[in-house]
Amino acid sequence: MAFEFRRDAFKQVDVLVADNRSKRPHVKSKQGCPFCRGNEGMTPPTIVAYPDGREWRVRRFRNAFPVLKPSKK
């Protein structure tokens, strides 16, 4: 994974640009949205879920397209 720091000339802030983030899916419907109920198979395995009746209200899972990854030692 390659990334670089760039300077935003308009806002005068440094930003981090990661090339692998462009591979993220960009969907416009709930049917293809990996974050919507019923599409759990489109994400990495759930780490923890907070219920809302019989279904989850909030789910936590690993980011499939992280900006940074921990270094391997």
pLDDT at 25: 67
29-61 confidence digits (pLDDT tens): 777 788 888 899 999 999 999 988 888 999 999
44 part of a folded domain: yes
Overall domain count for the chain: 1
What domain range is 10 assigned to?
Answer: 3-61
28 part of a folded domain: yes
Q: Is the pLDDT of residue 8 over 80?
A: yes
72 part of a folded domain: no
pLDDT at 1: 59
How many Å apart are CA 18 and CA 2, to the nearest integer? 6
Between 73 and 61, where is the model more confident?
61
pLDDT at 44: 93
